[in-house]
Structures are given as structure tokens and as C-alpha cells.
Amino acid sequence: MMSEWVVPVLWLLPLPPLLAFGAIVLFANRSNRLSHSLAIGAAGLSWLGSMLVFWRAVTTEHLAEHPFGGWVLWLPTGETWLTVGVQMDALGAVTLFFVAWTVLMIFIYSVGYHNFGAKRGVDDRAGLPPHGALVKGVDGHKHHVPSLEPMYARFFALISLFAFAMYLLVVSDNLLTLFVGWEVMGLCSYLLIGFWYGKPSARAAAVKAFLTTRVGDMFLLLGMAILYSLTGTLRFADILGNASVLAALAGQVSPVLGLSWAGLIGLLLFLGVVGKSAQFPLHVWLPDAMEGPTPVSAMIHAATMVSAGVYLAARFFPLLSAGWQPGMALTPTMMVMAVIGAGTALFAATIALAQDDIKRVLAYSTISQLGYMIAALGIGAYAAAVFHLVTHAFFKALLFLGSGSVIHGMEHGALHTGEHEDVQNMHKMGGLRKKMPVTFVTFLLGGLSLAGAPLLTAGFWSKDEILSGALNGGFVVVFVVLALAALLTAFYTARQITLTFLGTPRSKAAEHAHESRWEMTLPLGVLAVFAVSAGWAGIPETFPGLGGLIPNWFGEFVGGHALEHEVSHSPVPLLTSLLVSLGGLLLGWLVYRRQVAGAADPLAKTLGPVYSLLKNKYYIDEFYAWLLIRPARWLSETLVADWMDRRVLDGILHGLGRFGIWLGEVLRRWFDLPVVNGAGDGVGRGARWLGMVLSPLQNGHEQTYMLTAVIGVVTAGVAFILLVVF
Amino acid sequence: MQNHLLTWILFSPTVAALVLLLLPKNRPALLRWFALLSSLVPLGLTLVVWAQFDGSAGFQFEEKVSWYAALNASYHLGVDGISLPMVLLTTLLTPLALLASFNVEERVQPYLFLFLLLETGMLGVFLALDLLLFFVFWEVGLVPMYFIIQQWGGKNRNYASLKFMLFTIGGSLGLLLATQLMGAATGTFDLTELYRIWPRLQTLNLPIGWSIGTVKAVAFWAFVVAFAVKVPVWPFHTWLPDAHTEAPTAGSMILAGVLLKLGAYGFLRLVLPLYPAEAKQFAGWLAGLAAAAIVFGALAAFGQRDFKRLVAYSSINHMGFVVLAVAAAAKASNSAADALSANLALNGAVMQMFSHGLSAAGMFFLVGVIYDRTHTRDLEEFGGLYAVLPVYGSVLMFTTMGALGLPGLSGFVAEFLVLRGAWPLLMVATAISLIGLFFTGAYLLKALYKVLQGPLNERWVGKLKDMNRRELVVIAPLMALMLALGVWPAWLLEMINRAVALWF
């Protein structure tokens, strides 16, 4: 097994994007064409390798018991070594599948998005979004068109590093290298969210993303250290695949809150997931991450970053659920996951209702959908969670790239007409279905999938799995909350599609918008195929009518080794799915289809003050600024740096100095002058000499005097001890 | 087989310094190149030692000559897997610091002379296997640094250099006393002897009148304070920001890169092996001080608006992890699980010393690079410089991430090992130190936020040149080593691990 061709492929999988990153940074950064060729070529290689690995994984029997991979000695630890290596199992394989596809599509899309081949704008500067260039059209008129991104090569370097980190994370067979990928991705998201670093909002968003996720990462790091110290290993196979280790961890009580060690470690790892996958209360960074270029948003929201969080939770599901069996009461850690996941799903969906920025709606929708996955893991519906992770990656990548295409088209219109509207505001759009037909159709498919439009779309199947998992498991509250969130999801999706594509244009920019180039529309088409078809891989056998027509490949492949067992498919979740999805879509369309330019949002009238609460995201950012950021600044700037160090510690020091000076004065007046001065000229000469030597110390700074005095005191004290004690 | 490689390493900088005095002082270029090239000699010799080093043995390349026969002190040198990485760090950073000083125009000859002398002082501490010799070199290293700050420093240099001097001397007075006490009690200063005799000593033939336990406890704290001042551990740290802020760039590089390691090395070489019982007794106190250094160091760094002061405080934050590891090792019992934790923690400590040497030297150098161009260190006066200094920006980003402990670079391996080793022994202190680690990210990102990102401060448009070749040559080895250690730490850690396993 070990000597097979697939293992070297697995080892090499993350490398091409890393090499592309290095090559672009060091050698190719002056040539845009070479840079994107390197990046896309590398992404293509990794894609090819991923497909080979995926195929090999799918065709391997008993993959769950015998995942393939290899390892090397990495870190000497006393008598033994910590090993690192690569491994592929079902969860890894399906993750690899969607990562490879979405990453490659995003790379290709970026060529068009950054206007490769266009002119450079005269005013364009590194660090700011391009402002457009003036060109002469065929008719002789000069007009503005989108211009080339000034940091084009840099962009491809950074997303290559990003892709490397995600591949590394997926192929890792241990928590340590997974964490390496995890953090490198954090760095990349920081650099890419702040790609246009000259914009104050972008740099603030970048720092916010890094630090918010770092809160979670600190817990994750601690969890990793504890896990390592208790088990002596970080390899998944040795911990998660070893029932006796899991039982031991679940059986011993930790010193924290009466949790078992498995519960404590699970909770710490989960807090890392909360940061990375933007769950409440660490969700605040994700909407602001929209400051980056749109391909980055797709990268963060679908292909890599947030998926990594859910991937980790799914990977550690055996630990998180250690000691739990279906039908039993949830462990405290699972309970926390279920509550946070379901709560976040609903909470983020409500915010999405009131957002006007096309990307922000999607951002909150991502948070909400991730909540579904976390909640599913929390109630033990492992396969459903992974299924939704996969389908969501496809349709959300599609929606983000689609929204980028819309923004791009709007920008084109805005530059053409010279109208400086906010090109991301959906109230300024409308009627784009005719201007951008490919974008419209693909976005519609992605939106339907997100809304869970029945039978056809991938989102329906995966969401239905989660809902039925919740009801069958007896978690009625979770079921109701998620169903309500699904209703809102369908509603805001219909609102978004209606406002953006249907009706008539509500601004000049929208009137003059036009379809994006093929580099952008091709990836939309490819992703749209998956956004629909990915769900067919997991149709439950018990589904009325359709079940069994296509085998439930996904459930068997991924869920085979998990604890769950499929109960008969109750009609309640299915009917609920149908109702909320279709009802929400219809309602959204009805409310927004007659929206005219300049009119207020109909929801604002209906909901009143609640609407502005939602629009302002429940004021959580403001609350955090008041509760955490301002106190942190006061703590560091005022309390520690100023009071503690300058006033207290240096104050004591300077006080000692002052005491030394006083002591010197006293000695001089009562001992030196009367006694020593009488002792003759020799001493006087000595003193003059001493004075000359010491005169540089007398430089007029009071502080110097004090410190001089300290040394005097210390020396005197030591001399005293020496004389008296010894 | 006895060769004199270590003596050559130790004194070749002194020889070079003396030769330098004979060279014409109005030829700065000649002086600089001579100093730089001659500082490559100890580096090359260190690499020779590295190549011949036997990981499974203890002290190697030993040399021993009687020195003060009356006191039974000897000139005894030797290296093991803990000191050799420090020797390498010293011989590596000195040439880089000299190269970084090529733009110093003022009194070049004495400046370079002092740097070479400083190198001997620092190497002596790492190489000495005799307590008195250790102390002599400990003090020798102090003098050149005092003058470097006092003569080539910034505006407030008198205050800063005096503070530096007094703090360190104040700390080392206790060290001197305790050293003498140990020598008098055991009749030897030889460390290999002392390791054997001192911890087991039950009676004291000295007319002090205290119990042996009290004497040892006092001597323990004398050692701890001396090293704590140097590391520096909270609350003995306030000399450091001042010294760094006023020191010339290369002085800061060496100060942060090597001098602070002297204190940490003292903990590993002297405190833990000589005072195991006392260390165990006071491990909780040490851990508390370490956690305070980590958290307060990070918070204070976050509160600065002077770029160099911010980086200076980051040293307190980072070196706190070394002390945390020392406290953990001190607390460990003889059980196999504790021994493994102690081993890992100390692996992490030595790794952190090396890694911080790289990243801190790099950070101070980069602060110097921007200061040379803008003549300010006020973070509020920069802004958006990435756009005009793309190479500098990327280098700064990389080095900052190294300091931040980004996985894939060296700091992460060190910090992870320390956390792993310290957790089972000191749970509360370890958990608290993570708060500090969070703020490590906060202050480093603050620096990047203020310097590189945001709207370009129009004041600098067209006035700044990107990094030149000389500057890139200084920073490149540091970056390469940070990456090499982060990706494949075994080449260094194996040596450290064996030495630590042998000792503790």
C-alpha cells in the first residue's frame, strides 16, 4: 500500500502553489502574464493531483479503516520523535474535491476580475483599487473603462500561498501541520483582505480578521498542547482512530468546569473553529472581509478559510463526540456546538435581511450556513454536516464570483457614465438579467441552491439532511431554529436576486452595465454545474419517490464510519424544507419585485426599529469596541506602559536615586566637610581628580544623578555586607 | 584530543580588535571591511565545531588551564548542545551587525573596536565552564555595550546607558557574592565539579551563622536576580526599552539578539543544575514572573507609539517564554511524564532563544532601516509606506510574522514546545501566557498597520529609497534561518534535545 503512486502525489499536492508563490515573489513579479501563468499552472497541477487522489480514494475499499498516507520524523522530543505526514480518507477526499475545483475556478476568474490586458490607469496606485483608464473608442470618443490592477502579480502570489495552505491543511495527517496551514491561511486572508492596504477600511478589516481569528487560535493552540501532552501524539489516526485513547480522554475529569479531558480539548478546538468559521461571538471579522477583492471573498468564504474551520470540527468529530452515542444526551461540548451553530444560523440570517451591499448579504449568509454545519455536528449529524460543507462551497463560491461579476459590470457602467454610485448597493441595480445573462442564470442557480429550492439544487439535499437529522435525533428546538433560518435564507436570497437582476435598472450604471469577460463567466458556468449536481450524490435512500434511484454515495462514503444510522425519512422535515424554501422565495420576490429607484426598503417600514437594529448588525461591533477594544487600549497605553512602567517601576528606581543623593548630601555635610576636609590637601587633590573623572556624569539631567546615586547606594550596601557578614 | 578551536573562536575577535587599532583611522572603508571579514573567522570556526560536534556526548572541545591557582579557578572552556547554538547565534549576528553599521560615520575605529570586544565578552559567557571565568566575561560584555550606547546613542543616551549599566551591575553584585560563596564553600569554581558537589552540599564551613538551606536560598535568588535583570524578567525590565531606544541600530541588534540570551543561558547553565531543590521550591514564583513578563511585555508593547520601543518591549514578551520553560523544568518531578515535559519545555526554551535572536535582530535592523530614511520612529508619522517601499514592506512583513510566531517560521516551533512542556506542570501560568501571546499579534499588527498600511503619508512621497543591496544582505540570512528552522527544525533541535535530555 505505502509504495503506491498515490502517496507521492499526496505529498506533492500542496507544493505547486507554494513554488508558484516563491517564483512570483522572487523572479516573476514584473511580468503579469508570467505571474498568472505560474499561479494557474500550479493550481492546475494541484487540481490534477487532487482528482487523482480523489479517484483513488473513492475506489479504495475499506478506506475508513485504512486511510492511505505516509509520514516522516519531524521534531525530536526526548527519546522519541513527533512525526508529520499526509493522509487521505473520505472526509479529506471530498474536501479535496471541492477545494481543487473552487480554487482553480477562482484563479481563472481572477484574471478577468483584475482586468488583465487592460490599460493601466494614470491615477492608479499600488495599494488602492484601480480607478479606471481613459481610452479612445472606435467612434473616436474618449471614455473610461476598468483599468489593470497595479499589484496584479502580487495578487496571484498571495492567492497561490493561500491555496498552498489549504491543500496542506487537507492532506495533513496530524494537527500540527494542519495548524500550520490554518495559520498561513490566516496570514493570507490578512494580506488579501488588506490587499488594497491604502484604504483605511481595508487595513482595519485586515487587522480585525487576523486578531479575531487569533482569539480562537489561542484556544486551539492550548487545546493542541493539552492533547499532545495527554496522548503523546498529534496524529489523527492515533487519537481519533483509537477507541481506547478516546475512551480514556472521555473518562477522565479535567480541572476545568468538571468537563472530561475530551470535553475540554474539544471545547478548546471548537473555539478555534468559532474564530475561523466566523461563528457567534467571533463572527464580526467576516462581513468586513468584503474589503478584499471579490475573488478573495470567494476564496475565504467558500473554498478555504471558513471551510477549514468546519473541516477541523468534522475531523475531530470523534473527539468532540467522545462518550456519546446516538439517542443519548449530548455531551456538554456538543451541546455548545448545537446551540452556537443553530443560534448563529438564525442570527446571521436576520442580519442578512437588512443589508444593501450585495457582498455583505452573502457574507452573512455564509455565517448562517456555517452555523448549519456546526449545529449538525453538534447534534451528531456528521455526514449531513460534511455534505452541506461541500455543497455550500460550490454554491457560495459561485455566488461570490457572480456578485463580483455584477460589481464588475456595474463598475463598467459607472465608469462609462461617470456616475459615482456605490456599485455594490443592490438598490442601485435592477434589470441586470438582460445586461448580464450568463451571470444572471448562474447566480440564479447558486441562489436557488442557497435557498434550498427543492429537488433540483444541491443546497436542498444537504439542508434537508440537516433538518431531518435534527428532527430524527429529537432536537426539536434546533430543528425549529434552523427551519426558521432557512425561511429567512430563502427570503433574503429572493430579495437579492430580485433587486439585482429583475425589474428595471435603478441607476445609470445599471443601465450601462455589461457582461463580464469569458475568464469570469466560464468559472461561473463550471461552478453552477456543481451547485446543482453536487446534491445528487447524497440523496437518501429513504427519500419518498426519488430515494434509491441514484445510490446515496455520499452518505455511504463519508458517513460510513460515523456513529449515525439513518432512521426512516419522516415527511415532517421534507415538508418543512419545501415550505420554507418555496415560501421564502415567493415572499421575497413579491415584496421586492416592484421596488423603484430611491424608494426605501419595504422591510424598513414593516419592521421599524428592528430593521435598523438588523441593519446595524445588532450593534455588536460598537459593543465590542466599548467592551474590549477601548479597555485593551487603556490597559496597555495607560495602565501598563505609563503607570506601571514609567510611574511605579521607574518611580521606585528614581526614588532610590533621590534617596542616594540625599544620603550623599547628609554624609557630605555631617561627615565629609568637618572630618575629611580637615585631613589635608592630598585628599583635596584626589577629590579634584575624581571630580574631573566623574564630570561627564554631571550632565544636568536629574535622572542621571538619581541613577548615579543608585549605584552609590548599591555599592555601599554591598561593601557593608562584605565587611560585616564575611 | 585537545585542539584549541574554542580559544580561537573566543579570542579571534579580540585579536582583530587590537589589529584594528593599528589601522589608519581616516580610512573608514578599510576599517569596516577589516572588521567584517575578521568577524567571519569565528563564524567559520564555529561551523567547523558544529560539523565535528558529537550530539550524544556532553561537553566537548574542552580546554582547561589553571588560571588562579590560589582560588582553584581555571580557564576552562567547552560546548554542549545548549551553548553551541548560542555560540553560533553570536558569531552569526556579529558580522551582520557590523555590516549593518557600515553607515556609521562617526568615530568608526573605536566603534568597531568595541563591537569586536563585545563579541569576545559574549562568547566567553557561553563557552566558560568555570564559574569565575563566567563572571568575568559576564562583566566584560557589559562595558563595550555601555560605551556603544553612551557614545553612539540617541538623545537620551546618558540616562539610558547609565540605567543599563546600573541595573546590570546591581544584578551582578549578588552573582559575584554567591559565586564567591560557592567557591569558598566547595574549594573550586569549576562548573563540572560544582554540578557534582554543590547541590548535594549539606554543611557549610563558613562563619555565616545561617542554615545551609537559607544560604542556598539566598544564593539562588542572587543568581536569579542577576539573570532576571538581563533577560529581562518583569519587574526588572525597565532598563531595556530605554537602552534599546537610545542604542544605535547594530547595538540593538546585538543587545536583543545575544545579550538577553546571556541571562536566559544563565538560568539554563547555572540556576537549574546548581539549584534544583531551590528552583523547585520557587518554581511558582518564577512562573508568575514569566507570565507577568509575557502579558505585561505584550501589553506595554501594544501601548507604545515609538516603533523601536515597541520592538524593545516585544523582547520582554518573547523572553518570558524562556523563563516559563525554565520554571516548568524547575517544577518537574522525577516521573517520566514530568521529565518529558521538562525536556520539551527546555527544548522550546533554547529554540526560542535562537529564534528570538534571529527575529529580534531582524526587527531592530528594520526599524533602523526606516529610521535612517525618515529620521523618526514615531508610528504616527509613517503610514502607507508599502506603496513606496515594496521590498522593505515585504521583508518587514516576513520578519514580523517570524516574531509573531507564525507556524512555518521558527518562533512557532519554540513557542509550541514551551506551551506543550509547561502546560502539565504550570497550567494557570501557561493559560495566562496565551493572553500575552494574543497581544503579541496585536502589537505586531499595530506596527504594520501604522507603518505599511493606510493612506500614504504625502510627506514621504518621492523621498524614500527602498532597501539597498547591503541591507538585503544583512536581513536575508536571518529570514532564511527563520524559514529553515520553521520548516525543518530538527537540524537544530536534535542537538538541543540531546543536550537537554542529558542534563535534565
Q: Considering only CB atoms, which chain B residues are within 8 Å of A194?
A: 453
Nearest residue in B to A225, CA atom: B420
Q: Does some domain include residue B450?
A: yes
Cα of A559 to nearest chain B Cα, Å: 32
Name every residue whose Cβ is closer than 8 Å to that of residue A272 and which is 6 or more positions away in sequence. A182, A216, A217, A219, A220, A221, A223, A309, A312
Alpha carbons A151 and A173: distance in angstroms, whole number: 36
Which residue in A73, A225, A699 is closest to B423 by CB distance?
A: A225
Q: Please list, residue by residue across A58-86, b when 16 or more beta carbons sit within 10 angstroms of its beta carbon and e when fewer do.
A: eebeebbeebbbbeeebbbbbeebbbbbb
| Residues 37-96, chain A, touching B (beta carbon < 8 A) | 73-79
At residue A73, the 3 state secondary structure works out as strand
At residue A562, the 3 state secondary structure works out as coil
Which of B206, B289, B346, B445 to substitute to test the interface with A, most A CBs within 10 Å?
B445
Q: Does the distance separating the beta carbons of A640 and B177 come in below 8 Å?
A: no
Task: Count the domains in chain B.
Answer: 1
Which residue in A210, A224, A638 is closest to B445 by CB distance?
A: A210
Low-confidence ranges of chain A (pLDDT < 70): 1-3, 140, 545, 547-548, 560-569, 672, 674-710, 712-726
- Pick the closest to residue A482 from A581, A586, A398 (CA basis): A581
Q: Which grid cell is A172? A: 495533513
Cα of A265 to nearest chain B Cα, Å: 13
Alpha carbons A197 and A187: distance in angstroms, whole number: 14
pLDDT at position B309, please?
92
Which residue in A225, A638, A725 is closest to B208 by CB distance?
A: A725
Containing structural domain, residue B334: 282-504
Q: Considering only CB atoms, which chain A residues are within 8 Å of B384?
A: 127, 197-198
Beta-sheet strands, E only, within A164-304 = none
Q: Does some domain include residue A640?
A: no
A611 and A657: one domain?
Answer: no
Name every residue whose Cβ is closer than 8 Å to that of residue B284 and which is 6 or more positions away in sequence. B327, B331, B426
pLDDT at position B215, please?
87
How many other β-carbons are positioned within 10 Å of the β-carbon of residue A323?
Answer: 17
Alpha carbons A81 and A176: distance in angstroms, whole number: 13
Q: Which grid cell is B305? A: 507609539
Q: Does the distance separating the beta carbons of A718 and B158 come in below 8 Å?
A: no
Name every residue whose Cβ is closer than 8 Å to that of residue B23 and which is 6 or more positions away in sequence. B30, B31, B34, B109
Which residue in B208, B303, B497 is closest to A637 by CB distance?
A: B303
Q: Considering only CB atoms, which chain B residues are within 8 Å of A634?
A: none
Alpha carbons B240 and A463: distance in angstroms, whole number: 58
Nearest residue in B to A650, CA atom: B238
pLDDT tens for the 504 residues of chain B, in order: 467 899 999 999 999 999 999 999 889 999 999 999 999 999 999 999 999 998 888 899 989 988 888 888 899 999 999 999 999 999 999 999 999 999 988 899 999 999 999 999 999 999 999 999 999 999 888 889 999 999 998 888 888 888 888 888 888 888 999 998 888 888 889 999 899 888 888 887 777 777 888 888 999 999 999 999 999 898 888 899 999 999 999 999 999 999 999 999 999 999 999 999 999 999 999 999 999 999 999 999 998 999 999 999 999 999 999 999 999 999 988 888 888 999 999 999 999 999 999 999 999 999 999 999 999 999 999 988 998 999 999 999 999 999 999 999 999 999 999 999 999 999 999 999 999 999 999 999 999 999 999 898 888 888 889 999 999 999 999 999 999 999 999 999 999 999 998 887
Question: Which amino acid is it at B162?
Answer: L
Alpha carbons A382 and A315: distance in angstroms, whole number: 10
Q: Does the distance separating the beta carbons of B412 and A218 come in below 8 Å?
A: no
pLDDT at position A251, please?
84
Q: Which grid cell is A570? A: 419522516
A383 and A485: one domain?
Answer: yes
A19 burial via Cβ count (<10 Å: 0-12, 13-18, 19+): middle
Q: Considering only CB atoms, which chain B residues are within 8 Å of A184?
A: 406-408
Alpha carbons A462 and A98: distance in angstroms, whole number: 15
Containing structural domain, residue A718: 646-725
Alpha carbons A125 and A114: distance in angstroms, whole number: 14
How many other β-carbons are positioned within 10 Å of the β-carbon of residue A606?
Answer: 10
Last residue of a domain, one of A615, A634, A668: A615
pLDDT at position B25, please?
86
Q: Considering only CB atoms, which chain B residues are within 8 Å of A645?
A: 237-238, 241, 300
Q: Does some domain include residue B434?
A: yes
Q: Does some domain include residue B78?
A: no
Q: Considering only CB atoms, which chain B residues are within 8 Å of A210?
A: 441, 445
| Residues 93-122, chain A, touching B (beta carbon < 8 A) | none
A602 and A650: one domain?
Answer: no
What secondary structure letter does DSSP report for A431? -
A584 and A702: one domain?
Answer: no
Q: Does some domain include residue B238?
A: no
Radius of gyration of chain B (CA): 22
Q: Does some domain include residue A131?
A: no
A651 and A587: one domain?
Answer: no
Q: Does some domain include residue B185?
A: no
Alpha carbons A291 and A128: distance in angstroms, whole number: 11
Beta carbons of B290 and B328 less than 8 angstroms apart: no
pLDDT at position B264, please?
94
Task: Count the domains in chain A.
Answer: 2
Q: Does the distance separating the beta carbons of A77 and B343 come in below 8 Å?
A: yes
Q: Does the distance separating the beta carbons of A229 and B158 come in below 8 Å?
A: no
Which of A640, A644, A705 to substitute to test the interface with B, most B CBs within 10 Å?
A640
Q: Does some domain include residue B312?
A: yes
Q: Which grid cell is A258? A: 468538571
A92 and A220: one domain?
Answer: yes
Beta carbons of A173 and A84 less than 8 angstroms apart: yes
- Pick the closest to residue A96 from A42, A28, A47 (CA basis): A47
**Which residue do the cell numbers 469596541 mark?**
A625
- Pick the closest to residue A274 from A211, A220, A207 (CA basis): A220
At residue A279, the 3 state secondary structure works out as coil
Mean pLDDT of chain B: 91
Cβ pairs A/B, distance under 8 A: 180
A77 and A193: one domain?
Answer: yes
pTM for the full predicted model: 0.90
Tens of pLDDT, residue by residue over B29-74, are: 999 999 999 999 999 999 999 999 988 888 999 899 888 888 888 9
A222 touches chain B (CB under 8 A): yes
Q: Does some domain include residue A553?
A: yes
Alpha carbons A159 and A106: distance in angstroms, whole number: 9
Name every residue whose Cβ is closer than 8 Å to that of residue A52 and which is 6 or more positions away in sequence. A6, A9
